[in-house]
Amino acid sequence: MKVRPLLVGCMVLSCAVFGQPAATQRPGQAPIERMVIEEKQFVESLAYVYRPELWISYRGALYFAPKDDSQVRRIAELKDARSKYVALTNRETQHELAAATIAESGVGDAWLKKLLLPYSETRPNLTPTLNRAYRIVNGFKVLRVMKEGDALIQDAGGATGLVMNLGAAPAAGTNSTLYLIKEGERAFARSNGEYQQLEAFTSVALSAEETNVLNLVVAACQRKASALVAELAGSKAREEFEITKARATDSNPYMQYLLARCYLDGNGTPKDERVGLEWMNTAARNGSGDAKTYLEQKGKK
């Protein structure tokens, strides 16, 4: 059975980057727009962090535990991206955003407490981690199942062990993988009545309920990210509307035409056909061919 330590201390949420030089903000970018962009990136990172395959379940608690090198690399990439934030740099604000997004999943306060540690100025991690080594068993067969749900298993190398709560793990089979935490040794009664000392483990596989809860959180993070994309698009549209309005002078009939379209289409401003047509007629009088074409086509309808 292969021994692998739990990956303790992975910075799931942006915690260890404070005090580092801030990234340069794009020239001309509004602070509000930058904040929305970083909030979107943050909740997208949460959508990855709360994927069930990055978590384990041990003694009624859930712990964040990346299990392979690709997951570790992805977490490092997300941490690096967060180190470049210039707007969403306050850790308490990040915690509040994470808590609110998880709450929007509808999983309830009890699950929220399992998935997100309380905010602390001194604690670097916001997700619970477990400082215990675990064993990976690739391929096994069940030799015997006990009434309590424990099972005697044999791995591909022929080693045997006692696994408690195996019912929470995937079905046994040559392609199954178990993640186990060693609890010590237990006496096992053999069929002839003799006792044998065996290594005892607890399965840290997620239950169906725990998996469902994490999937709900991931879905909530994805919805939040989509909402922030829409908010960002609206913010850009409003900014472009204000620029267009400022440039829509009699000497610039094309910008007057664009302003008319903003009002007519409700792009960056509430839709207002009366005001839009007024600007369209103004643009046409000042020589905008686009405005004249629009009015001609509208008159034919």
Q: Which tens digits make up the pLDDT trace of 114-167?
A: 999 999 988 878 899 998 888 888 888 888 887 777 888 888 888 889 898 776
* 252 has pLDDT over 60: yes
- List strand residue ranges (DSSP E) for 129-172, in order: 133-145, 151-155, 160-164
- Span 42-59, mean pLDDT? 96
* Residue 168: predicted pLDDT: 53
Q: Between the ranges 124-128, 141-145, 193-197, 243-247, where is the mean pLDDT highest?
A: 243-247
pLDDT band at 271 (very low <50, low <70, confident <90, very high): very high
What pLDDT sits at residue 234?
85
Distance between CA atoms of 219 and 105, rounded to whole angstroms? 7
- The one-character DSSP state at 89 is -
pLDDT level of residue 101 (50, 70, 90 thresholds) = very high
What's the CA gap between 292 and 298, in Å, rounded? 10
Percent of the chain with pLDDT over 70: 85
Q: Structure pTM?
A: 0.72
Q: How far apart are CA 261 and CA 245, in angstroms?
A: 11
Locus of tokens 């400082």 = 131
* Mean pLDDT confidence for 200-217: 94
The pLDDT confidence band at residue 188, using thresholds 50, 70 and 90, is: confident
Paired tokens of 104: 């929007």
Partners of residue 164 on adjacent β-strands: 202
pLDDT band at 71 (very low <50, low <70, confident <90, very high): very high
Range list of H helices, the chain:
31-49, 69-82, 91-103, 109-115, 208-247, 253-265, 273-285, 289-300
Report strand pairing: 160-164 vs 195-203.
parallel
Averaged pLDDT, 49-68: 94
- Mean pLDDT, rounded, of the chain: 84
Pairing, β 133-145 against β 173-189: antiparallel
Question: How confident is the model over 10-38, as pLDDT tens digits?
Answer: 333 233 222 333 344 444 455 778 899 99
Report the alpha-carbon distance of residue 252 to residue 118 in Å, rounded: 56
Mean pLDDT of 183-202: 83
Tell me how far CA of residue 37 lies from CA of 27, 29, 124, 177, 238, in angstroms: 15, 11, 23, 39, 16
pLDDT, residue 300, reads 58
Which of 40, 5, 213, 226 minimizes the C-alpha distance to 116? 213
> Could you tell me the domains of the chain?
2-130+209-229 (no CATH), 133-205 (2.40.50), 248-300 (no CATH)
